[in-house]
Amino acid sequence: MRSRLLAVCAACLLSLSGVTAARAQHTHSTVPAAAPARIQSLYVLSAALVDQDGRPVGLDLFRGYPVVISMFYATCPGACPLLIADIQRIEAELSPRERANLRVVLVSLDPERDTPEALQALARARGLDESRWRLLRAPDDTVREIAAALGIKYRRLPDGSFNHSSVITLLDRSGAMQGRLDGIGKLHADLLRRLRAAAASPP
Amino acid sequence: MRAAVLSLALVLAGGSAIAAAPGGMARVGPGSFRPVYAPDSSTSVLDVRAFDLARVPVTNGEFLVFVRSHPEWRRDRVALVFADDGYLRHWAGPLELGPAIEADQPVTHVSWFAAKAYCAAQGQRLPTEAEWELAAAAGDTSADGSAEAGVRERILAWYSRPARARLAAIGQGTANYWGVYDLNALVWEWVLDFNGTLVSGDSRSGASADRMQFCGAGALAAGDKQDYASFMRLAFRGSLEARYTTSALGFRCARDAAP
């Protein structure tokens, strides 16, 4: 038993180091220099979503801007309001000019109930700047893939609510993941620094 | 691993155990099982609709055919979001298994995204966790292996053995009640909703400790300490991210049962 547990732990460690390595310059010692570089962008996910105005969009709707992306659901009683508040707190730390460059994408975990109307009602109730914030609905399979790519775990409970982890991810202008905040209420300086750097200059 | 398969064959004393590798899909379910991780405190049994599950895991040979026709899944081209640096690392080259790898071994070093794409290319999908666990809960002669003498012991024997460097070929054991091979004695397998495991109670993040306790309580409430293998799988899935690859993690495909 111990051996398999160790294998599990080793898998975590290896994978974590893999992520670190991927964040650094990606190199392949066995691949000729002429090989095409592996795509780093999250936008390689081909996803057909709809925003809170009912407009069809891709996940890359804000390509060219630094983006803060996370997942939530509108009827969430606990963590999601805090998640939105966290992103608003992050925004509040930015200068007006930096803030104007930043975009926010929130993808619903609950496409069944989070219609564009429900998402728009939430956006208005929370006073979100809808010129920069998009609340998106996607088919179940797309939701699963986006969550997987962002490292978000979720499960629909029998009562229709969701258990989910709160992960806030920073994407650069090309959609490459530049930083990740696990859990709510944990605004950290490192992510903020990366964010300011990403949002410092206009697209 | 070979020893595990051999002992499995001996225990079953099935003369037909060593046959040509089986293929195709087996109808599994409908049925129900007791999850070690109950979705809530009032749910102790999960019902699963009938579905079709591949009898054996996907092999290196099959995955090579897929990569050849879908070059975006070559290890030197796959997007970083979809697979880590270990992806298909055991092959000699991007389109070459090499002498150390057998075509009929289960493919490993594959990410969730790659497994999902493979199944989609066959017009199929990954099995859900509930579907997979239902299939794996079967014994040799009944849908609930916990009632059969020796089944749990045999399963646990595999989980207690070190992972071997060299994997056995697929389909060398004996099919379970549903006609499915290798669920408990060859490799770990991806499921569609792997990221629904240990939700927000991820032990590494330290977040939401109450959820973690809830999971533990759920497992204890099931009163089924015998089902340690299921709990091991749960913990393993909880440690995974979709781009991770390991030397002992493969997959098989499923599809909805035709109405």
Task: Kindly report the CATH number assigned to the domain that includes residue B153.
Answer: 3.90.1580
Distance CA B131, CA B50 (A): 9
What length is written for chain A? 203
What percentage of chain B reaches a pLDDT higher than 70?
79
- Of the residues B211, B241, B249, the best mutation for testing chain A's interface (the one with the most A CB atoms within 10 Å of its CB) is B241
- Of the residues A5, A8, A31, the best mutation for testing chain B's interface (the one with the most B CB atoms within 10 Å of its CB) is A8
- Residue A28 has a pLDDT of 43
Q: What is the mean pLDDT of residues B146-163?
A: 77
B140: which 2 tokens?
Answer: 């040799």
> Which residues span the domain enclosing B158?
2-256
pTM above 0.95, yes or no: no
- Of the residues B110, B200, B228, the best mutation for testing chain A's interface (the one with the most A CB atoms within 10 Å of its CB) is B200
* Residue B223: other Cβ atoms inside 10 A: 10
- Residue B225 has a pLDDT of 54
Domain ranges within chain A, ordered by starting residue: 42-199
Q: Is 60 exceeded by the pLDDT of residue B214?
A: no
CB spacing of A44 vs B82 below 8 angstroms: yes
- Residue A34 has a pLDDT of 56
> Domain count of chain B?
1
pLDDT digits (tens, 9 = 90+) for B23-44: 899 999 999 988 877 767 777 8
Is the CB of A189 inside 8 Å of chain B's CB atoms? no
Positive or negative, the Cα torsion across B128, B133, B136, B142? negative
A97 min Cα distance to partner chain B (Å): 30
Residue bearing the bigger pLDDT, B186 or A111: A111
Fold entry, domain A42-199: Glutaredoxin (3.40.30)
**Which residues, including other chains, have CB under 8 Å from residue B134's CB and lie 6 or more apart?**
B28, B29, B31, B32, B33, B46, B48, B143
pLDDT digits (tens, 9 = 90+) for B102-149: 999 999 999 999 999 999 999 999 999 999 999 999 999 999 888 887
pLDDT digits (tens, 9 = 90+) for A34-54: 556 788 999 999 899 999 999
Residue bearing the bigger pLDDT, A124 or B6: A124
| Torsion angle defined by CA atoms of residues B86, B92, B93 and B95, in that order, rounded to the nearest 10 degrees | -110
Q: Which of A103, A177, A183 is nearest to A146 (CA)?
A: A177
Nearest to A12 among B80, B207, B239 (CB): B239
pLDDT digits (tens, 9 = 90+) for B57-73: 999 999 999 999 999 99
CB spacing of B195 vs A182 below 8 angstroms: no
Q: What is the pLDDT along chain A (203 residues), one digit of tens a residue?
A: 444 444 443 333 333 333 333 333 444 445 444 556 788 999 999 899 999 999 999 999 999 999 999 999 998 776 678 889 989 988 998 999 999 999 999 999 999 999 999 999 999 999 999 999 999 999 999 999 999 999 999 988 888 888 888 899 999 999 999 888 887 666 667 778 888 888 776 66
CB spacing of A165 vs B202 below 8 angstroms: yes
